[in-house]
């Protein structure tokens, strides 16, 4: 893994610069959250840990004070984040000597997304898609104006390695690539908002592409978006992003109306 601690302002030789990860991504993803990050980023980190299997079903989470120290936020921020996770059905809190917050025994983000989908109106689905699309497309357009082509090229290269991964790993890469792409906008606010939205929207992306064919289709659409950013074409990048999100929402609505499509 490449170093994440290289000074942002250091002037390295061109060949060494090309081999590094995008420094803007490093700054956006691997710095301390801080109180201004609010509970949503703590939620994002914990949801990611559950999705990726770092926190397994039945496992006890660190205490609120330990999480607060680790994330660099106030305990009340952690408390708010844990309340959100309980609302999503991902953790349960038990009292007593051996109490604490635990990942639920049947933690399954896809199952939760299916249940949430069936209880969501079409209007609410389209509203969620509009919110996600507005933030992502705006950031992607900005990335197309600001990012160096070599930075976009390195993000695109990650998609070329999908064939060597299993389905769960591919899904995680697609999530990461979306956030990496948005980080090239050089907007900390947009990147933080994207990280929050990705935690919420990722299970729905998986529902819309439940198999290898669906994942490849999403990866191809994402590759087209990154190519437009690499070519400094904000209009095409934005339109392709909006089309990707619209396709996902249409697929979710189809799943809702199909008696067997969401089983």
Q: Give the pLDDT confidence score for residue 125 in this predicted structure.
A: 94
Q: Give the pLDDT confidence score for residue 36 in this predicted structure.
A: 47
Q: Give the pLDDT confidence score for residue 146 in this predicted structure.
A: 97
pLDDT one-digit tens code per residue, 168-186: 788 888 988 999 999 999 9
Residues in CB range of 242: below 8 A, 6 or more apart: 133, 137
**Cβ–Cβ under 8 Å, residues 252 and 208:** yes
Instruction: Using pLDDT thresholds of 50, 70 and 90, give the confidence band for residue 198.
Output: confident
Same domain, residue pair 219 and 123: yes
Residue-range definition of the domain harbouring residue 81:
35-107
- Mean pLDDT, the chain, rounded, equals 83
Same domain, residue pair 156 and 57: no
pLDDT at 23 over 70: no
Instruction: Using pLDDT thresholds of 50, 70 and 90, give the confidence band for residue 261.
Output: low
pLDDT at 25 over 50: no
Q: Output the domain CATH number for residue 51.
A: 1.10.10.10
Same domain, residue pair 191 and 243: yes
Of the residues 58, 88, 107, the one at which a domain ends: 107
Would you say residue 15 lies in a domain?
Answer: no
How far apart are alpha carbons 208 and 49 in whole angstroms?
A: 22
Least confident span in 133-147, 194-208, 216-230, 236-250: 194-208
Q: Give the pLDDT confidence score for residue 109 in this predicted structure.
A: 66
Q: Give the pLDDT confidence score for residue 5 in this predicted structure.
A: 42
Same domain, residue pair 133 and 77: no
Q: Give the pLDDT confidence score for residue 114 in this predicted structure.
A: 84
pLDDT at 200 over 50: yes
- Quick one: average pLDDT of 211-225? 93
- Quick one: average pLDDT of 64-77? 91
Would you say residue 17 lies in a domain?
Answer: no
Q: Looking at the whole model, is its pTM more than 0.85? A: no
Of the residues 107, 129, 146, the one at which a domain ends: 107
Q: Where are the beta strands (DSSP E) in the chain?
A: 91-94, 100-103
How far apart are alpha carbons 157 and 89 in whole angstroms?
A: 35
More confident residue, 149 or 54: 149
Q: What's the DSSP call for residue 60?
A: B
**What are the backbone angles phi and psi of residue 93, rounded to the nearest 5°?**
-110, 130
pLDDT one-digit tens code per residue, 40-64: 888 888 887 786 667 888 899 999 9
């Amino acid at each position: 893994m490449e170093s994440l601690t290289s000074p942002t302002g250091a002037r390295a030789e061109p060949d060494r610069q090309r081999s590094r990860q995008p420094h803007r991504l490093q700054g956006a993803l691997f710095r301390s959250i801080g109180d201004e990050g609010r509970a949503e980023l703590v939620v994002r980190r914990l949801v990611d840990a559950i999705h990726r299997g770092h926190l397994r079903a039945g496992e006890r989470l660190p205490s609120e004070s330990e999480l607060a120290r680790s994330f660099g936020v106030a305990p009340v921020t952690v408390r708010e984040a844990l309340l959100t996770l309980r609302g999503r059905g991902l953790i349960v809190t038990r009292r007593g000597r051996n109490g604490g917050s635990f990942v639920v025994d049947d933690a399954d983000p896809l199952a939760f997304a299916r249940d949430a989908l069936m209880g969501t109106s079409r209007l609410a689905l389209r509203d969620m898609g509009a919110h996600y699309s507005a933030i992502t497309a705006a950031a992607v357009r900005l990335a197309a104006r600001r990012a160096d082509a070599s930075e976009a090229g390195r993000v695109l290269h990650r998609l070329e390695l999908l064939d060597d991964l299993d389905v769960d790993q591919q899904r995680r890469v697609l999530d990461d690539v979306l956030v990496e792409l948005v980080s090239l906008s050089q907007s900390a606010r947009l990147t933080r908002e994207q990280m929050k939205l990705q935690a919420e929207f990722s299970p729905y992306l998986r529902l819309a592409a439940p198999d290898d064919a669906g994942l490849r289709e999403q990866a191809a659409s994402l590759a087209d978006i990154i190519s437009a950013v690499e070519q400094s074409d904000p209009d095409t990048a934005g339109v392709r992003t909006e089309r990707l999100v619209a396709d996902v929402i249409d697929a979710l609505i189809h799943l809702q109306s199909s008696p067997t499509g969401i089983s």
